[in-house]
Amino acid sequence: MRFNHVANRLDARHFEAVVTMLQTRLGFVELRRTERAIWLRQPGANIDLQFSRSETTRRDEDKRRSQVSFLSDTPKQDLDDLAAWFTAQGLAASVGAYSDREFFLDVPDAFVDFVIEAMLPELADYGDVG
Q: How many CB atoms lie within 10 A of CB 51?
A: 23
Domain limits at 103? 5-124
For residue 60, pLDDT over 70 is answered with yes
Total of domains in the chain: 1
Note the pLDDT tens digit of each residue in 69-110: 999 999 999 999 999 999 999 999 999 999 999 999 999 999
Please state, in angstroms and rounded to a whole number, the distance separating the CA atoms of residues 33 and 31: 7
Assess if residue 24 is contained within a domain. Answer: yes
CATH number at residue 113: 3.10.180.10
Mean pLDDT, the chain, as a whole number? 93
pTM over 0.95: no
